[in-house]
A and B are shown apart, each in its own frame.
Chain A
Amino acid sequence: MITVDFTVNGERVKLDVSESARLVDLLRETLGLTGTKEGCAVGECGACTVIVNGKAVCSCITLAAGLNGANVITIEGVSKNGELDDIQQAILDHHALQCGFCTPGIVMSAKALLDANPNPTTEEIQQAIAGNLCRCTGYQQVIDAIADAAERRAVQE
């Protein structure tokens, strides 16, 4: 076991993990943050996407042991005080979800994109979520929703 000391959704977490533990297991099993999903375990589907130090990563292929000092945001850390974030609200408004299993990962990829690039082109949106496979929506309403979320953010600023 090895001790990791890092931040999850703004809260400091210090715990012992197995040397080979994956971040997705630490989040889901140790911390009970089950909003992060596992779909393929090989970094392909993006259902397990979380934000580590500002960047979207697949938590299924992220070693928990390497997280000392890291700042991790999961889907549970996106909405503030029970209020939906602009991205979540836009996804809801655009019906950009169906089964919802890929949705948390898509929200995280979209958040990482908009936090770094507030005014993305359609292609940049597509690039940002290309690592989030969705079998239900055909992506169109998702892309529309993220573009809309960018506009909503711009209006608020």
Chain B
Amino acid sequence: MPLFGDKTGFDVLNQSKPRIDGADKVTGRTRYAADYTMPGMLYGGMLRSGLASARVVHIDISPALAIPGVHAAITAKELPNAKSWASYQYLTDVVRYEGDVVALVAAESRELVRDALEAIEVEYEPLDAVYDIRSAIQPGAHAVHEEYPDNKFSQSVYRIKKGDVEAAFARADVIVEREYETQYAEHAYIEPEAVLAYNNPNEGDMTVLSSSQNPFFTRRYVADILGTSMNRVQIIQQTLGGSFGGKEEGVGLAAARAAYLARLTGRPVKIVFSREESFLESAKRHPFLLRYKAGITKEGRIIAWQGTQIDNCGAYNNQTQFMNWRANAHSAGAYAIDNIETETFGVFTNNVHGGAFRGYSSPQLIYGQEQFIDECAAELGMRETDFRRINCLKDGLSNATGTTLNTVTLSEVMEYTLAQTDYENKRAKHAKQTSKEYRYGIGMAISHRSCGFGAEAPDASGAMLIANEDGSVYLNTGLAENGQGLKTAYAMIVAESLGVCYEAVSFYGTNTHSIPDCGMTVASRGTVMGAQSVKLAGLKLNAIMRQNAIELGFFSDTAKIEKACGLAEGSLRDLVVSDPEQLELKQSEFYLKEYPAYRVPFGAVTGSGLWAGKQMSAFEWFTPPPCIQDHETGQGTAAPTYAYGCVVAEVRVDLRTGYVDVLHVTSSHDVGTAVNPALIRGQVYGGIVMGQGYGICEDMEPVKGKCVCTNLDSYIIPTAMDIPEMQINLFECDDPSGTYGAKSVGEPATEAVAAAIANAIANATGKRIRTNPASLEQVLLGKKLR
């Protein structure tokens, strides 16, 4: 299988085209939601409880309303439906975590909003609370929700049952069992959530300009709080300043509150989260408690695998049921094991809710699984490389869901990476270090990831293409640019499929009035699956336009063709161009396959086409082939295809302070087809550094339900000074499942990094850290101080 660079046959794809939105972004002209103001606009604000579990005994908003310039103040009592369509509360009088909102205000300035919030008098009665997974599952623990008396989120329970685990354990020569734990992590996109809601009757009951990762998701909240129908709510998605899965529920809640205040006051209302609010109310990466047990033969084959994966949902239903589907499907890692039994479920606690965050459970799982594989190999006295070679997924073998896999590139990706990093030699050399100050370590992790939604949700989408009279092309679809470069990739796919120049295509994001709900831009599905409808629309419009070119007579004048092709006069007099199959449309030019020298510009055909009343647009909907799994056993088809990756991390550990310096990370990924290699490299660089932060320094540190870190001074993400040297290897393969053969990369880029770092630390120190992150204290003392 080749490294990137051997694919042929594309006109536009496989090239590092400049970003379609780049010039506007480098000049600061791009507008984000917080950049808008409107005449008469008010600012909205939320009073958050700051308590993990309490009941509002008394709340008095009148002092806030008495302040001149304050136009509205409401509590849960005044809001007809304080509970959202999901289980979140727009407003509540029963506080289940510190970010819960007990009052809303709207005022003429941000300062007045603060004054109003401070003026509201609230008396709370503290209630019992439960903070972590272990105590939440204890019998008799405080129930966060009455409907879930044992705190177990029953809709989030998934199982894998494959083969006969009990019998296999009985046959095993070695049994290894370990437990791992991960922390709350924050997306820390640099743009805090922002919305501006206003009523313009020309547009419906409410329009919201928002920093939504999925505007249709936001619309659900706004229609819900207003009690209006979705066709009367318009969400215009603005440029997102990063999301990584985070601008879903939080933005929905903010948009709904702003919309309600806007209706109440009759004025536009803007809500911009402070960084602290963003930390408090946006979903987090769920903490997981992971228990794995493997039965292994003395030759090193894993014959039995048992797992319990419990995640901390926090206070509200927060996509755990979807995330656990993924956690379940990947509960045995990138390994082919015949006998598997795993259980995955979420528990409620009085903490901020978990939710979607780049990887959607995989960084947590891989952190445990890939350390576990190293630990199993060590128990066997086997090199962890050989152990992986024996057990990893290969063509014709089946993964945890019982899906037999093809085009499994994992071994090639892994071997290339190991050779390039001189992994085995370094690993052996590092094991012999004697320094008492600094030690070096190298570690690896491999991954396989289902591309797109798979059996989690329908991976459907729609796209509309409009060719204008001047030959320019407008794309409208419902998937979102989060910063990853989706607009650029989509414009390239339009250019490739429709056959126009990349520069001729524009795409400005999603307006819910203009296109059907295409699902969320999540699960690394944007390019792989979401763009399938874009490609279909492009191919369809390509055929339509070729037909138009013929019908409009652009290929009737044979003399012109003769001249352009340098052929004798009259030689083509019998040529009849009547079948669109005779024509090609590429790079905004039509030509005959047989006589390609005669070219007709795309714009000439569209120019005539408009006045001739020709169809010059196409809408296509893509429905993926079904992926069906048995709910009881998890067996079936989980995904159309998988992406494979291998990460090797090299670290230097300060034995006397616990400081881990990540020196070098090599990250190799099978991307199927590299639609835009520079964009992919950007994803992988960013994914490495995000994974580094997750593995080393990022931790919300909730203490009794209160997060210690609520701004970027205490929540530590890597700076430009902290990054390792990075080596990226992109592999391509022939797997037709994704759009033009593309596979996911956004999430694979980050999911295995923390695990590789953890394995490298163990190589350096000889000590295994099973609790993420490898903070100063964790590395030095083997425990957190708080």
Contact = CB atoms under 8 A, between A and B. Distances in A.
A129 B720 contact: yes
Taking chain A's interface residues, is the majority helix, strand, or loop, or is none over half, making it mixed?
loop
Interface in A69-95: 74-76, 78-79, 84, 88-89, 91-95
Interface stretch (B238-246, B300-308, B399-407, B615-623): B238-246
A140 B30 CA distance: 23
A101 B189 contact: yes
A131 B240 CA distance: 21
Contact of B28 (A75, A129, A136): A75
Given A39-B192, A41-B275, A98-B686, A135 B244 contact: yes
B224 to A, nearest CB: 28
Interface string B685-719: 11111100000000000000000000111000101
Given A84-B27, A133-B712, A101 B191 contact: yes
A54 interface: no
Interface stretch (B16-24, B115-123, B419-427, B730-738): B16-24
A134 interface: yes
A138 B713 contact: no
Contacts of B346: none
Interface string B30-60: 1110110100000000000000000000000
A94 B31 CA distance: 22
Nearest to B25: A100
Interface in A3-52: 28-29, 33-42, 44-45, 47
Given A135-B242, A142-B720, A45 B712 contact: yes
Contact of A136 (B22, B242, B681): B242
Contacts of A78: 27
B713 A44 contact: yes
Interface in A98-157: 98-104, 107, 125-127, 129-143
Contact of A29 (B37, B191, B684): B37
A97 interface: yes
A133 B693 CA distance: 12
A141 B681 contact: yes
A91 B26 contact: yes
Contacts of B482: 99
B275 A143 contact: no
B34 A38 contact: yes
Given A37-B190, A92-B22, A135-B188, A140 B685 contact: yes
A76 B679 CA distance: 26
B582 interface: no
Interface residues of A, number: 56
B28 A98 contact: no
Contact of B241 (A37, A94, A130): A37
B492 to A, nearest CB: 13
Contacts of B719: 130-131, 133, 139
A76 B30 CA distance: 11
Contacts of A101: 32, 189-191, 241-242, 483
B484 interface: yes
A81 B325 CA distance: 53
Contact of A35 (B28, B241, B678): B28
B786 interface: no
Contact of B239 (A91, A94, A100): A100
Contacts of B275: 39-42, 45
B276 to A, nearest CB: 9
B191 A99 contact: yes
Contact of A143 (B681, B687, B720): B720
B684 to A, nearest CB: 8
B29 interface: yes
B721 interface: yes
B274 A41 contact: yes
Contacts, number: 175
A107 B23 CA distance: 13
Given A103-B25, A126-B720, A138 B189 contact: no
Given A130-B720, A133-B719, A139-B689, A99 B35 contact: no
A67 to B, nearest CB: 20
B176 interface: no
Contacts of A97: 19, 22, 25-26
A98 B191 CA distance: 12
B396 to A, nearest CB: 36
A110 B686 CA distance: 20
A130 to B, nearest CB: 4
A34 B482 CA distance: 20
B187 interface: yes
Interface string B267-287: 000000011000000000000
Nearest to A43: B713
A47 B743 CA distance: 32
Given A100-B30, A101-B189, A139 B712 contact: no
B382 interface: no
A141 to B, nearest CB: 6
Contacts of A29: 37
Nearest to B676: A95
B131 to A, nearest CB: 27
A60 to B, nearest CB: 10
Contact of B26 (A28, A107, A132): A107
A97 B682 CA distance: 8
A95 B23 CA distance: 11
A34 B244 CA distance: 24
A7 to B, nearest CB: 18
A39 B191 contact: yes
Contacts of B681: 95, 141
A84 B23 contact: yes
A134 to B, nearest CB: 7
A142 B712 CA distance: 20
A42 B25 CA distance: 23
Contacts of A132: 720
B720 A42 contact: no
A79 B27 contact: yes
B478 interface: no
A135 B717 contact: yes
A20 to B, nearest CB: 9
Contacts of B188: 133, 135
Nearest to A94: B678
B241 A141 contact: no
Contact of A44 (B21, B29, B31, B711): B711
Contacts of A133: 188, 190, 712, 717, 719
B190 A45 contact: yes
A136 B682 contact: yes
B82 interface: no
A126 to B, nearest CB: 5
A141 B723 CA distance: 12
A137 B242 CA distance: 11
A92 B717 CA distance: 24
Contacts of A47: 190-191
A92 B19 contact: yes
Nearest to B24: A100
A129 B722 CA distance: 11
B726 interface: yes
A157 B243 CA distance: 41
B127 to A, nearest CB: 32
B16 A95 contact: yes
Contacts of A130: 719-721
B609 interface: no
6 contacts: A35-B28, A39-B241, A40-B711, A42-B712, A88-B27, A135-B189
Interface of A: 28-29, 33-42, 44-45, 47, 74-76, 78-79, 84, 88-89, 91-104, 107, 125-127, 129-143
* 7 pairs of A and B residues whose beta carbons are closest in the complex: A35-B28, A99-B483, A101-B241, A100-B25, A138-B685, A75-B28, A138-B689
Given A28-B35, A127-B721, 20 more contacts: A38-B192, A42-B275, A42-B712, A45-B190, A74-B28, A88-B27, A92-B22, A95-B22, A97-B19, A97-B25, A99-B241, A101-B242, A102-B190, A104-B28, A133-B719, A135-B190, A135-B242, A136-B242, A139-B685, A141-B682
